[in-house]
Amino acid sequence: MNCTHDFKQWGNGTCPIPQFAGNPPMTWKWVVAPMALYVIERLIRFWRSQQKVVITKVVTHPFKTYELQMKMKGFKMEVGQYIFVQCPAVSNLEWHPFTLTSAPEEDFFSIHIRIVGDWTEGLFKACGCDKTETQEPWQLPRISVDGPFGTASEDVFSYEVAMLVGAGIGVTPFASILKSVWYKYCNNASTLRLKKIFLLALPVKHKHLSGCDLLNL
């Protein structure tokens, strides 16, 4: 007697209660690989965060902007790349991304930071930018850096003509590109394929025009 669909008969001697059986667990097959990659990435970030980073110079700019120039052993960058920065004096858990504004030809790497929140303001004060006296190197906070990480800007030297378009603070990556081009031409780089650059900068606010001094050439 097939009484599977007649639940009123379930439990009778002639109609036992149906036994439900599901598929074996399968989720772990789809979770293990991504989780392993995530753990590896966390371990790499932890290892990088232990590398010594030296702040060589702190420069204040108009419109609540300041610049950190740093050095780290083995650090190599390309134009348009970005890094993650963490400062234990401000927060032990927060990592923030910043575009590199220095050129690969320089002996340091730098970022420009505008005060737009608690973390950037905390780093501003930790670096002593709110004080009138000059800070000694030992007074500057410890910085951890993860990166650099690549962007599409690295391919700018693969073409003869390049157009750079940015709005607001989005023009920051172009500082690194234009600096690098300037250094290459000064060094008579005969292998440089890039011949012409068009830069279209759209400042959302008047204060974004202060980014024009990023080149500092």
**In whole angstroms, what is the distance from residue 115 CA to residue 169 CA?**
12
* Predicted pLDDT of residue 37: 94
* Predicted pLDDT of residue 24: 81
Please report, for the domain that includes residue 80, its CATH number.
2.40.30.10
* Domains: count for the chain: 1
**Does the residue 35 lie in any domain?**
no
**Does the residue 69 lie in any domain?**
yes
Give the rounded distance of the alpha carbon of 194 from its chain centre.
26
Q: Which domain holds residue 87?
A: 46-214
**Does the residue 101 lie in any domain?**
yes
* Predicted pLDDT of residue 187: 78
* Predicted pLDDT of residue 207: 53
Question: Torsions phi, psi of 129, nearest 5?
Answer: -70, -15
* Predicted pLDDT of residue 42: 86
**Does the residue 130 lie in any domain?**
yes
- Measured from the Cβ of residue 13, the count of other Cβ atoms closer than 10 Å reads 5
* Predicted pLDDT of residue 4: 67
**Does the residue 25 lie in any domain?**
no
**In whole angstroms, what is the distance from residue 42 CA to residue 53 CA?**
19
DSSP string, 74-128: T----TT-EEEEE-TTT-SS--EEEEB-S-TTSSSEEEEEE--SHHHHHHHHHTT
**Does the residue 103 lie in any domain?**
yes
pLDDT digit string (tens) for 9-44?
777 777 777 777 777 888 888 999 999 999 998 888
**Does the residue 21 lie in any domain?**
no
Total residue length of the chain: 217
pLDDT one digit per residue (tens) for the chain, 217 residues:
567 677 677 777 777 777 777 778 888 889 999 999 999 988 888 887 788 888 888 888 887 888 899 999 888 888 888 999 998 888 888 899 998 988 888 889 999 888 888 998 988 888 887 777 777 777 788 898 988 887 767 778 778 888 888 776 667 778 888 888 888 887 776 677 788 888 887 766 655 555 555 545 4
